[in-house]
Amino acid sequence: MEKKKDRFNKTEKNRWAGLTLSLCLAILFYMAVSNLDAIKGTFTAALAIMASVIIGAVIAFIVNPLAVIFDRRLIKHFTKHKRWAWVISAVIALVLIYSLLAGLIIIITPILISNIKAFVTNIDVYIAQLKALVIRLEFASDIENKLLEFIDEQISVNGFVTKYITGPNAQGASGILSFTTVTLSVIMNFLIGVIFSFYFLIEKTRLRELLGEFFYLVIPTKHYPKFNDVWARFNAIFTRYIICELVDAFAVGLVNAIFMLIMGMPYIVLISLIAALTNLAPTFGPFAGGAVNAILLLLVAPEYVIPFLIFTLILQLIDGYLFKPKLFGEALSVPPFLILTFLVIGGNLWGVPGLLIAIPLAAIISYIYDEIFIPWLKSRKHRKNAEDKAAAKEEPSDKA
């Protein structure tokens, strides 16, 4: 009888503990939702402060696979000084990537500047052609007036400067100064990030040892091997995701440039660069880039807009349903509804950065659910069933 009472008390304690935990989680969730703007502001401010460090860490993470390849070849010649093999490999990989990037910028920049200069020089002609097209379409007078006002406010150079540089509340030089300050800040963050990338990659082994020691001391010993497996999986997900996204963006930009070259379209480099960059933002990015490029072609050469939109649609269908799945393989096997959910939440909270991390984050959540949470629930269920069977066997002896 005493054993039965102990089991009853244990069950009651577990039930109240579960209810208490659920209530605490519900309160925390309510507080997070109620203070979403404050959380978003804090997170954005932290990102701004740590921008250079984050840029350096991301660059080092991207270049790391290439450095590992060099290290495997050099380590044979540095048997007594393995650290020097890694330092040399890291420097060679970073210098090679930055050299390729600099060469690409040197080649593309003059053409890009020429495209932009020609576009800005002829903007008045393009706007006049677009207005004439709107008038020829014979819309209702109120719709026609709104379209013409939109063209003057959003597409003209003066409208762009007023809205995006001087801003609605800024006046003249102060607005331009603010725009220049932001631009210089972005450039400085990137340059400092380049310096950080050398430190992060060269000191990768030491950083990994420090983190490994910390987690070994914090995490229970019996769970530490599982933690290492999970960490390796996360690393594989992010590495493959970043590399595949860069390869995919380059392929889309290249195919877009080839198509425009064959068709004899203008501003090949500018439009193809926009297509490649916007393709880095999953799902919505390519369509936003296609819309921007279609507007550019509408201003310059309206006869190319329909063929370009058809080609962009076909290219994105092939890329989204054939090329990307083949490229990503099973490393990011995630349910579509989970990807869409994370894209919507990430995009609304953090814009483009939120879209960029949405898919790998969804992959991590999916992995935790499939490989950790579900096995834990199964083992818990089996253990509870075993306890219930043992309790059922003891019932007759208690009654006796």
Placement of tokens 């392929």 in the chain: 251
Q: What is the mean pLDDT of residues 47-70?
A: 84
Q: Is the pLDDT of residue 70 over 80?
A: yes
Most distant CA atoms of the chain, gap in Å? 101
Confidence of residue 95 (pLDDT cuts 50, 70, 90): very high
Tell me: pLDDT of 359 over 90. Answer: no
Dig out the tokens for 274 from the structure. Answer: 């926009």
Nearest by Cα to 391 from 43, 8, 104, 58:
8
| Residue 255 predicted with pLDDT over 90 | yes
Residue 327 CB partners (closer than 8 Å, separation 6+): 244, 247, 248
pLDDT of residue 96 exceeding 50, the answer is yes
Q: Over range 364-380, report the average pLDDT.
A: 80
Q: Angle, nearest 10°, between helix axes 82-121 and 172-202?
A: 160
User: What is the predicted pLDDT for the residue at 258?
Assistant: 93
Lowest-confidence region among 43-57, 92-106, 253-267: 43-57
Q: What is the mean pLDDT of residues 22-47?
A: 69
Q: Give mean pLDDT, residues 275-284.
A: 78
DSSP letter string over 93-133?
A: HHHHHHHHHHHHHHHHHHHHHHHHHHHHHTHHHHHHHHHHH
What is the pLDDT at residue 362? 78
Count Cα atoms within 13 angstroms, Cβ side, for 355. 14
Residue 351 is encoded by which pair of tokens?
Answer: 């814009």
| pLDDT tens sequence across 318-356 | 887 777 666 665 556 666 667 667 767 776 776 666 766
At 99-149, the pLDDT tens digits run 988 887 887 778 778 777 777 777 777 777 777 877 777 777 777 777 777
pLDDT (average), residues 224-238: 78
Window from 72-76, 88-92, 253-257, 329-333 with minimum mean pLDDT? 329-333
**With 90 as the cut, is the pLDDT of residue 369 above it?**
no
pLDDT of residue 170: 47
pLDDT at 222 over 90: no
- The pLDDT-based confidence of 32 (bands split at 50, 70, 90) is low
pLDDT recorded at residue 186 = 82
- When pLDDT is averaged across residues 256-272 and rounded to a whole number, the result is 88
pLDDT for residue 259? 93
Of the candidates 284, 272, 326, 295, which has an alpha carbon nearest to the alpha carbon of residue 104?
272
3-state SS, residue 170: coil
Number of other CB atoms surrounding residue 220 within 10 Å? 7
Chain-wide mean pLDDT for the chain?
76
The pLDDT-based confidence of 311 (bands split at 50, 70, 90) is very high
The residue among 283, 287, 290, 281 whose CA lies nearest residue 256 is 290
Secondary structure of 47-62 as H, E, C letters = HHHCHHHHHHHHHHHH
Could you please report the per-residue DSSP string of 171-234?
-HHHHHHHHHHHHHHHHHHHHHHHHHHHHHHHTHHHHHHHHHHHHHHHS-GGGHHHHHHHHHHH
> What does the alpha-carbon distance between residue 171 and residue 344 come to, in Å, rounded to a whole number?
35
The single-letter DSSP state of residue 18 is: H
Amino acid 123: pLDDT: 74
Residue with the bigger pLDDT between 301 and 102: it is 102
The radius of gyration computed from the CA coordinates of the chain, to the nearest angstrom, equals 29
- Across 54-68, 83-97, 286-300, least confident range: 286-300
Q: What is the mean pLDDT of residues 156-170?
A: 51
Residues 6+ apart with CB under 8 A from 233: 367, 371
Tokens of 116: 């932009």
User: Predicted confidence band at 165 (pLDDT cuts at 50, 70, 90)?
Assistant: very low
Pick the more confident residue, 254 or 301. 254
